Copies of this chain bind each other. A is one copy, B any other.
């Protein structure tokens, strides 16, 4: 089992360091946060504030490197990776995949890179919120591009599976378009609802109940994190926001002209039923040979159909789709 070097020890990086350690991997890491480094060291982890030193150790040991720094810090760390550990297996946990892939191609073109995004999180952040069980049962997207090194991919996938998550193989653009739909637009909508509600003053706050509480919950998230993920996904998010503007404008026009909202309300109800049905759907087993010539296409097809990989045995990825 390959050693694991985690750069950045916030909620996700810290949780991954703990989780990898708990399943018996040799782990070490670095963070520029003195407070997080102190806390992690006191908890018994091999952690430094010297990112370059940690990456050099990763190169010596041929460890896999996990970038768990915020998106704006990725480019700078990639420069150091390229200089001292450019041939290590490299992954990240950032919430957008296209921009990170572009950065890797520019800054660390020889890295054996596999983009990653665990669909897990809490409202809290930092090492103090880290939890080795954070990833249990979660979907963890792993990038598959035309030039992805599937040997490196399997190394990263094995760690993801070992810490309890399921692997969703996807190209970066497909990931980014999907999270714009199901995460970034919901965050923008929650912010707007919370703003419009609060403008109603104490009366609105006193009458707000279920629909408002649910619809605004994620507006309580850290503004810095919400901005990082939405702004970082600008290219994929803009067309989704346009779609929302179009649908809201159509609802407005229909309410003003005919007085009816049937199209809006019925489409939403069908969408809610489709989501509920997806949870109860029968699932069928799927196997993809990672050494087959069309392995990348097989992995992507599995991910695009809403499937997940739950195990790797030899060179066979074992998954399920509905």
What residues of chain A have their CB less than 8 Å away from a CB belonging to chain B?
119-121, 138-139, 141, 168, 170, 174, 177-179, 181-183, 185-212, 214-221, 223, 226-227, 230-231, 234, 237-238, 240-245, 247-249, 251-252, 255-256, 259-262, 264-276, 278, 303-308, 321-322
- Across the interface, do B191 and A178 meet the contact criterion of CB distance under 8 Å? no
Q: How far is the CB of A252 from chain B (nearest CB, A)?
A: 5
- Across the interface, do A241 and B255 meet the contact criterion of CB distance under 8 Å? yes
- Across the interface, do B227 and A260 meet the contact criterion of CB distance under 8 Å? yes
- Across the interface, do B206 and A248 meet the contact criterion of CB distance under 8 Å? no
| Nearest CB in chain B to that of A191: its residue | B268
Beyond A211-B187, A303-B203, A305-B203, whether A269 also contacts B197 by CB under 8 A is no
From B202, B218, B305, contact of A210 by CB (8 A): B218
- Across the interface, do B251 and A231 meet the contact criterion of CB distance under 8 Å? no
- Across the interface, do B267 and A195 meet the contact criterion of CB distance under 8 Å? yes
Residues of A contacting B: mostly: helix
- Across the interface, do A252 and B223 meet the contact criterion of CB distance under 8 Å? no
- Across the interface, do A211 and B195 meet the contact criterion of CB distance under 8 Å? no
- Across the interface, do A182 and B204 meet the contact criterion of CB distance under 8 Å? yes
Q: Name 11 extra pairs, CB < 8 A, besides A194-B267, A202-B278.
A: A182-B207, A186-B212, A191-B271, A194-B270, A195-B264, A201-B306, A203-B303, A206-B308, A227-B261, A230-B265, A248-B248
In angstroms, Cα B203 to Cα A182, docked, is 10
- Across the interface, do B259 and A234 meet the contact criterion of CB distance under 8 Å? yes
- Across the interface, do A269 and B223 meet the contact criterion of CB distance under 8 Å? yes
- Across the interface, do A215 and B203 meet the contact criterion of CB distance under 8 Å? no
* 15 A–B contacts, CB within 8 A, in A order: A181-B199, A187-B265, A189-B189, A189-B192, A189-B215, A190-B211, A191-B265, A196-B271, A199-B243, A202-B321, A223-B266, A226-B261, A231-B255, A231-B259, A231-B260
| Nearest CB in chain B to that of A243: its residue | B196
- Across the interface, do B215 and A190 meet the contact criterion of CB distance under 8 Å? yes
Q: How far is the CB of A52 from chain B (nearest CB, A)?
A: 30
- Across the interface, do A220 and B185 meet the contact criterion of CB distance under 8 Å? no
In angstroms, Cα B202 to Cα A321, docked, is 9
Point out which of A194, A227, A261 has the most chain B C-beta atoms below 10 A from its C-beta: A261
| Nearest CB in chain B to that of A307: its residue | B206
In the complex, which residues of chain B have a beta carbon less than 8 angstroms from the beta carbon of A255?
230-231, 234, 237-238, 241
